[in-house]
Structure 1
Amino acid sequence: MKIGIFFGGQSREREISFAGGRTVYDNLNKNLFEAVPIFVDSVGDFILLDWQYIYKGTIRDFFPPFNHLPPTPHGFQIYIESLGDLTIEERENVIRQVGRRIQPDEFSKLFDFAFLALHGPYGEDGNIQGLLEWYNIPYSGSGILPSSIGINKIVQKKLMKNAGFPGPKNLYLKKADWLNETDKSTFFNHFRNELGLPFVVKAPYQGSSIGISVISKEDTQAFEKAVYRSFFMQPVSKHDWTSLSEEGKINFIRTLTDIRDGIGLPVMISGNKVNHPEHLFDQLNYHFSQSDSTLILESLDNEEEIVIEGFISGKEFSCIVVQDENGKAIALPPTEIRKGNEVFDYRSKYLPGMSRKVTPIDIPTNQIEGIRTACERLFNELNFNVYARLDGFINQEGEIFLNDPNTTSGMLPSSFFFHQAAEIGLNPSQFLTYIIRTSIAERIKTGKKTFAFKQLLNTLDTNLHRLNTEASEKTKVAVIMGGYSSERHISVESGRNIFEKLASSKKYEPVPIFLTGNEDSHKLYLIPVNIMLKDNADDIRDKVLAADSKSKHPVIQKVITEAKDITVKYTGNAILEPREISYPELAEKVDSVFIALHGRPGEDGVVQSNLEKFGVPYNGSGVESSKITINKYETNKLLRENGVKVANHKLVFKNEWADNYETLIKEIESTFQYPIIAKPADDGCSSAVKKINNLEELTAYAKLIFAWDDLKDSESSRTLKLKYNEEFPCKNYFLIEDLVSKGDAKHFLEVTGGLLTRFNASGEIEYEMFEPSETLATGDVLSLEEKFLAGEGQNITPARYSKDPEAQKYISSQVRTELQRAAKILNIQGYARIDAFVKIYDDNRAETIVIEVNSLPGMTPATCIFHQTAINGYKPYDFIDKILTFGIERNNRKVLI
């Protein structure tokens, strides 16, 4: 069955939709479905997308294509709407670079079923559902009416009140009234008197907590800012603008035009439309050089009326409700959301570590059942179909308040959507199959194209039965994830991604393994999919270690029983409980291992050494190479000895700092010039990598990494401006090195290049060097989020060395040759990622300075190594398959020797 996956879209949630569409694309069962990617751009065009673009980190990495971007001296990133009002022909020219523009009347020729991974307006409001019904295409999720209700918070509240659902008092504020009143405190006083403090200001037609604020204090200014934010308007005074530095102005524009945190583009200013951030920058500069008047910037996609409601104090939860085979609503175990901030905002929802998800919510069983009952009743009252996500609060008195029901859910690998389905034993691939089948059954009920839809359903059921009855002859692969380093959360993201790619394949059967412990010893645990999909590595560890002392929660057990008719159709022999597994047992259970660990252990050869004892093939480099590449100092030393350019560097030891501080500082400051880079010598993923500008910052860094100062709320953390929940590993030494800069080169950029190895006919190892990606950091150094998390970073693949095609090819060849030379010196095998700076001179000579080598690079869905492999024709699964195949062949050759 051909499945058209609709993702991207026109809403402010387009990046999460893009990442969710990729999750669906990768996780559809390849024995049942053929995925057809339908990218919806932000002006509403439907694009049959060339598959390689699915693996870009963000939409702006590929669309609009680089050659269609106007100059941007300040480095602003844009969507296609910032190109202005393009003609149809101009839009066609842009689209042809990434795929083919298609019309709705072509849908039925391209796919049999539409899977909707769109969010917000145009995606979950009935618009796309109506279009698909017009063209007789069955689609996922709820129909037109419940979708239109699900997006409209104002209508929802009225319907819920009429149905007897308790809720906070809510009021409304019209934009016209707001703009006509000069004394904004009048509104603040009114809402405070009516609702009390705190209260919530929210945009009624948005998802992902976009345009929502909590007003907690007597602060008219904060209230005014929140109201403008919900209307997607931004006042800018002369003082606001002129008091900023040049860098401050750039950051102001960058935040203002961000569709998640700001109002987005285009904007209207005094009746004129501004499309591009550079034009906005220039217009603000010009206006405030001529006038003192405040400007009001207004998004073209703004709200005419916003909701002001009372704040509910209590535990926040989210609950996925699904339908069984008979159409009965079943609420899955509700998840408690433990936030770092008052609001479960966009970043809290989608960045690991920013919040915690606890399933089921930590309250008495009868109260959990009360939440489930309420969610099922609301699902039915609003006529939702197939599945929905219902959010709410429960206060200390046990009162349940449901709010903002959604007819779809975020579909990132660790989202509630998959997280809760895993509690009844469905992995992501199986849950997607359930969604497709149940959606077809729902569309049959509409009385439209009944015979054709029944045929489609019968075909799917026949194939499902065949899969469940055929004996499996798949290669079993243990996917080891987790660990105890500061990179453990990224390791889990990588491991889940590998698991999911293999789980939907025809060739492999993945077995999830979690590693935990410390530097002295570690243990392996076989884990069920529900634990694998917990929020982060710490949640998984806690569940694994508590498994021996706790039986399965009674609510989860009850839901498993209620959902038996669902799970029996889609699951095979699932792992039900975690248990410790030894290396000898692992060798008996699986045919191969994929090590998805980062840092120690994993990249240091320890796990590899244990696997080699029992003849188990594995991915990546061997023991000796791993021992070198884990240590940045030793890596750079070896490369330098062999003529590869690296940054000047030095190890700083804890005892040396404590005993000979003045001598050490004198030596550092005589050898290095600020700013310098400080980093752990044996951690990757940008963990604790900082640009150090002076002795004060260097001292703060040393205090944190040597654990002489608290990470939370200390003077040292403030000096280094650490983010909320940012981790900082404790070490006995760290590395400092020169900050590599442009110097007298004509062009300077940071790149990261991937590679793959294979055996040739003579049994020698050959290297396939991918086109490196250009990595763009918003701060001093590339952050963890920018490297690995969907929608956060921007990577340009291939790197932009030159506008001249011949020069581009020549420079790229030089860079890849130097990266390959470094890989050979280090005896890299399997695959790897090498980070480097590149200086390009007037004669197109390229100087490549290697920064670090990752023998087990991040394999999260958004990592740029997948962008690089796509250029060479490998989908992520193909790349993973080649990595595993090399490891198995290498092991077989050792056995033969």
Structure 2
Amino acid sequence: MKIGIFFGGPSREREISFAGGRTVYDNLDKGLFQAVPIFVDSRGNFILLDWHYIYKGTIRDFFPPVSTLPPSEHRLQVYLESLGELSQEEQDRIIAEVGRRVQPQELRELMDFAFLALHGPGGEDGAIQGLLEWYGIPYSGSGILPSAFGIDKIAQKKLLHALNRPTPAFRVISTEEWDAADPEATLDYLVRELGLPLVFKAPRQGSSIGVSILREKNAPQFVAAVERSLFRKTLTRAEWQGKSDEQKILWLQQLTDIREGIGLPVTLEVKFEQLEVRGENLPPTNDQIIYHPEKLLYTLNEQFERAEQVLLTNIDGESQVLVESFVAGREFSCIVVEDPNGEPLALPPTEIVKGEEMFDYRSKYLPGLSRKITPIDLPEDKIQEIREACQEMFRTFGFQVYARLDGFIQASDGSLFLNDPNTTSGMLPASFFFHQAAEIGLNPSQFLTYLIRTSLAARRRAGMQPVRLGGILARLDAAVASRQRQEQQRTKVAVIMGGYSSERHISVESGRNIYEKLSSSVKYEPIPVFLTGSAQEHKLYVLPINVMLKDNADDIREKIEYAEAGHELHPVLAKIRREAEAITGTYAGQPTAQPRRISFEGLAEMVDEVFIALHGRPGEDGALQKELEQFGLPYNGSGVESSSITINKFETNRRLREAGLRVAEHRMANRLEWQADAETFYRSLETQFHYPFIAKPADDGCSSAVKKIKNRQELEAFSQLIFRDQEDLLPEAARTLHLGFKEEFPQKDAFLVETLISRDGAQHFLEVTGGLLTHWRPDGSLNIEVFEASEALATGEVLSLEEKFLAGEGQNITPARYAPDPTERQRISEEVKKELRRVAEVLNIQGYARIDAFVRVRETGAVEVLIIEVNSLPGMTPATCIFHQTALNGYTPYDFIDRILEFGKERQRKLQVETKSK
């Protein structure tokens, strides 16, 4: 079957849709389905996307293409809508650079079925569903009417209220009412009617976009909350002129972000000072539409010469605000699916445990910021009450195939509130969608197969071409049954993930991605293995699918400890698995109930080779590699000796400098020196390094504790945190360094100090990250293939964890923009690649790696490459930029992983031959 995957779209959730579409593309069972990627741009155009763009980190990394962007002094990335009004011909030229425009009437020839990974307006509101119905194309999820109802939070509230179903009290404010009202009077009314705190929502948005909580009766905060839900922003002259040029750019990037800000295009309403000029006032307003962030910057600078205040309003903002009373209690989310008989079946509800009151976009999608506990920790009868309430809401709203229902258990009396159902759930690898399906034993590939089958049945029941769809169903059922009977000998690969460092959550993301890429292939059978313990003892556990898909490394470790304490399978999970046997009996084998401890010797008996998905220590330091070599297990990446060097940034820099390569001035700062005399310690660093400079751990990656130190106070705070004795952070020092919510800070006996690498008068200056892959030549020597580097754009002082790994957050341009002229760009690129190849040769890197560097291009054309660090086991999360780079050389992510594994096997064979010859 040809499965058209619709992803992207015009909504503010387009980045999560893009990442979810990639998950579906990767996890479709290759033995049953052929994936057809249909990218929907922000103007609603359908694009048959060239496959390599699917693995870009964000939509803005490839669309609109760099070649179509207007000149930008600040090199800002934008969405298509920021190019202004475009003719059909102009849009076609842009589309042609990434794929082929598809007219709606062509869709039926391209696909047998449409899998909808679109979110929000244009994806979940019945619009795309109606178009597909018109052309007779079966699609996933709910039909037109339940979709239209499922996106409208106000309509849902009114129905729940009319049916006397428990839901938080609410009021609605329209834009007309808001514009005419006195904010203080409106706030008084809402507090009187609903109490405090108040929750503000944009009625047609998901992913917690446009949501705020007001905890106190504060008029300015109230206005800001309403504006956030309407996607407006009021800015005063004093606020604007009080910002530096750098702060203005950062503010602009945040404002125009489609998730956290109001997005573009915007109307600009100017309110002038009421100055008397010849007896007349200046005009009170001046409306105009602004598409590009740089144009907005210049316009604000110009208008605030005279204007007192500016109101910015997104032209596609909301027309109403939903205001609810706050529910103090425990938050949960529950996926409901149709069983084979068309009846709703609630999967185990998940509790969301977070450190802040609001489960926002960042907490939802960045691993480690929230905890998901499945099932929610409540008595069995209470969990069953949640499930039954969710199943009832599924029926009441007429949902089909699947939906995600959210709610609260009130702290005061245990009463249950349901709200905000979603007819399309987020589809990232560890989202609720796959996380809860794994609890009944379905891996992502199996779950997607079931949803496609169930959607076909739902469309047929609704009257869509019953004879044709009946035939498709029969063929699919036969193919699934045949697939179950097939016995294939596949290479068993242990995918080791987790660890115990600050990089453990990203390691799990990498490991899961490797698992999913391999599990959908015909060549490999991946086995997820979690590593925990300490440097003295590595503990390995084979994970069942439901534990592997827990939200983060801490959740996985908790489940392992729970199993080791002798706890039986949760009775609710046992009950749901029995209820789901009609599904799992066809689409999955018997689910494994508990994680299982295994020795390295046992691992060698179980698998043929290993993929190490760990980052930092352990994993990249050679210790694990040494263990695997003892048992003859091939593995990915560099060998023991090279790994033990590249894990240490100080030693890496020293060796590179000795070889004539450029690195930053650096030294280690030791705990013993600090303890002996802190003042002398600080002065010594200040003498050698002028502020600002960089401080970071010498053996951690993923931007862990990398800080730009600008003064003595920050140096003291950094030293106190990294040399602290207790696990908890020191609050005052954490505030001084502006540590983010749940940002981890490792404890070390030493840290690395480096000079801050700057432009230094260069014509071009950019930060890049370049990947490489090694191959064996016929004569047994090593060939190093260096990919085109990616340009990494940091919004803050250094690249953050979010920019590296949060869907839609990081900005990477591949290939890097070394120069506007293509010939000159390529010349510089070859110079950079030559230097990166030298790094790999000096350090004896094998397999693959990622090298981070700064590049200066002088007016003379001279190219300077300054190496920052080397990662011998780089992050392999779904959107990591190494996949963008490999795609340019024709490797799909699976091809790249396959080459890495094959290299490891060949190296092991060579090692065995050498050992025998000795």
Partner of 1:192: 191
Q: How does 1:394-473 map to 2 (within 5 A)?
A: 394-396=409-411, 397-473=413-489
Q: Report if aligned partners of 1:755, 1:833 keep a CA contact under 8 Å in 2.
A: yes
Partner of 1:593: 610
Q: Report if aligned partners of 2:152, 2:203 keep a CA contact under 8 Å in 1.
A: yes
1:51 partner amino acid? W
1:146 is the counterpart of 2:161? no
Provide the alpha-carbon RMSD of the alignment.
Answer: 1.3
2:840 partner amino acid? A
Partner of 1:767: 784
Larger displacement relative to structure 2 (692-701 or 593-602): 692-701
1:603 is the counterpart of 2:620? yes
Larger displacement relative to structure 2 (778-787 or 482-491): 778-787
Unaligned runs of 5+ in 1: none
Q: Report if aligned partners of 2:729, 2:745 keep a CA contact under 8 Å in 1.
A: no
Cα distance in 2, alignment partners of residues 572 and 555 from structure 1: 20
2:135 partner amino acid? Y
Larger displacement relative to structure 2 (402-411 or 225-234): 225-234
Cα distance in 1, alignment partners of residues 228 and 263 from structure 2: 11
Larger displacement relative to structure 2 (218-227 or 86-95): 218-227
Change in Cα spacing, 1:310 to 1:663, as seen in structure 2 (3 Å) is: closer
Larger displacement relative to structure 2 (865-874 or 333-342): 333-342
Distance apart, 1:665 and its partner CA: 3.1
Partner secondary structure for residue 309 of structure 1:
strand
1:528 is the counterpart of 2:544? yes
Cα distance in 1, alignment partners of residues 517 and 307 from structure 2: 58
1:235 is the counterpart of 2:252? no
Cα distance in 1, alignment partners of residues 449 and 535 from structure 2: 41
Q: Deviations over 1:199-242 (max 9, x none)?
A: 21111111111111111111121111111111111122222222
Q: Deviations over 1:159-186 (max 9, x none)?
A: 22233321121111111011012x2111
Partner secondary structure for residue 661 of structure 2:
coil
1:547 is the counterpart of 2:563? yes
Larger displacement relative to structure 2 (112-121 or 544-553): 544-553
Distance apart, 1:106 and its partner CA: 0.6
Partner secondary structure for residue 662 of structure 2:
coil
Change in Cα spacing, 1:584 to 1:710, as seen in structure 2 (3 Å) is: closer
Cα distance in 2, alignment partners of residues 646 and 435 from structure 1: 52
Q: Report if aligned partners of 1:483, 1:601 keep a CA contact under 8 Å in 2.
A: yes
Partner secondary structure for residue 564 of structure 2:
coil
1:340 partner amino acid? G
Partner secondary structure for residue 325 of structure 1:
coil
Q: How does 1:759-838 map to 2 (within 5 A)?
A: 759-838=776-855
Q: Deviations over 1:344-378 (max 9, x none)?
A: 11111111122111111111111000000000011
Change in Cα spacing, 1:364 to 1:493, as seen in structure 2 (3 Å) is: same
Larger displacement relative to structure 2 (731-740 or 658-667): 658-667
Cα distance in 2, alignment partners of residues 735 and 167 from structure 1: 54
1:92 is the counterpart of 2:92? yes
Residue identity (%): 60
Q: Deviations over 1:443-496 (max 9, x none)?
A: 111212111111211121111111100112111100000000110010000000
Q: Report if aligned partners of 1:621, 1:830 keep a CA contact under 8 Å in 2.
A: yes
Q: Report if aligned partners of 2:721, 2:730 keep a CA contact under 8 Å in 1.
A: no
Cα distance in 2, alignment partners of residues 818 and 225 from structure 1: 50
Q: Report if aligned partners of 2:802, 2:810 keep a CA contact under 8 Å in 1.
A: yes
Partner of 2:278: none
Q: Deviations over 1:246-302 (max 9, x none)?
A: 22222222121111111111111233211111111111111110232x222111112
Q: Report if aligned partners of 1:647, 1:737 keep a CA contact under 8 Å in 2.
A: yes
**Aligned match for 2:686, one of 651, 669, 673:** 669
Q: Deviations over 1:817-850 (max 9, x none)?
A: 1111110111111110011111112232211111
Distance apart, 1:74 and its partner CA: 3.0
Distance apart, 1:710 and its partner CA: 7.3
Q: How does 1:176-255 map to 2 (within 5 A)?
A: 176-181=176-181, 183-255=182-254
Partner secondary structure for residue 228 of structure 1:
helix
Partner of 2:255: 256
Partner secondary structure for residue 513 of structure 1:
strand
Unaligned runs of 5+ in 2: 270-286
Partner of 1:158: 158
**Aligned match for 2:367, one of 352, 355, 358:** 352
1:829 partner amino acid? Q
Q: Deviations over 1:790-818 (max 9, x none)?
A: 21110110111111121111111111111
Partner of 1:13: 13
Cα distance in 2, alignment partners of residues 451 and 475 from structure 1: 41
Distance apart, 1:770 and its partner CA: 0.5
2:869 partner amino acid? E
Cα distance in 2, alignment partners of residues 611 and 816 from structure 1: 32
Distance apart, 1:744 and its partner CA: 2.9
Larger displacement relative to structure 2 (860-869 or 565-574): 565-574
Cα distance in 1, alignment partners of residues 728 and 715 from structure 2: 15
Cα distance in 2, alignment partners of residues 392 and 797 from structure 1: 41
Q: Deviations over 1:720-772 (max 9, x none)?
A: 11111101110000100111111132111111110111111111121111001
Partner of 2:500: 484
1:376 is the counterpart of 2:391? yes
1:187 partner amino acid? T
Distance apart, 1:568 and its partner CA: 1.3
Distance apart, 1:150 and its partner CA: 0.3
Partner of 2:172: 172
Partner of 1:641: 658
After TM superposition, the score normalised by the length of structure 2 is: 0.96
1:721 is the counterpart of 2:738? yes
1:707 is the counterpart of 2:724? yes
Cα distance in 1, alignment partners of residues 863 and 715 from structure 2: 32
Q: Report if aligned partners of 2:441, 2:590 keep a CA contact under 8 Å in 1.
A: no
Cα distance in 1, alignment partners of residues 302 and 838 from structure 2: 52
Partner of 2:903: 886
Cα distance in 2, alignment partners of residues 250 and 491 from structure 1: 33
1:850 is the counterpart of 2:867? yes
Partner of 1:506: 522
**Aligned match for 2:294, one of 260, 273, 278:** 278
After TM superposition, the score normalised by the length of structure 1 is: 0.98
Q: Report if aligned partners of 1:711, 1:717 keep a CA contact under 8 Å in 2.
A: no
1:478 partner amino acid? A
Cα distance in 1, alignment partners of residues 872 and 743 from structure 2: 24
Distance apart, 1:709 and its partner CA: 7.7
Partner secondary structure for residue 708 of structure 2:
strand
Distance apart, 1:885 and its partner CA: 0.8
Q: Report if aligned partners of 1:700, 1:717 keep a CA contact under 8 Å in 2.
A: yes
Q: Deviations over 1:80-126 (max 9, x none)?
A: 10100000000111111111111110101111111100000010010
Partner of 1:860: 877
Paired residues in the alignment total 895
Distance apart, 1:77 and its partner CA: 2.4
Cα distance in 2, alignment partners of residues 513 and 575 from structure 1: 14
**Aligned match for 1:695, one of 712, 717, 722:** 712
1:38 partner amino acid? I
Distance apart, 1:573 and its partner CA: 5.6
Q: Report if aligned partners of 1:703, 1:709 keep a CA contact under 8 Å in 2.
A: no
Distance apart, 1:73 and its partner CA: 2.1
Partner of 1:313: 328
Q: Report if aligned partners of 2:126, 2:147 keep a CA contact under 8 Å in 1.
A: yes
Distance apart, 1:662 and its partner CA: 3.9
Q: Report if aligned partners of 1:388, 1:405 keep a CA contact under 8 Å in 2.
A: yes
Q: Report if aligned partners of 1:704, 1:710 keep a CA contact under 8 Å in 2.
A: no
Distance apart, 1:140 and its partner CA: 0.5
Cα distance in 1, alignment partners of residues 261 and 706 from structure 2: 28
Larger displacement relative to structure 2 (157-166 or 276-285): 157-166
Partner of 1:569: 586
Partner of 1:580: 597
Distance apart, 1:713 and its partner CA: 5.9
Partner of 1:66: 66
1:322 is the counterpart of 2:332? no
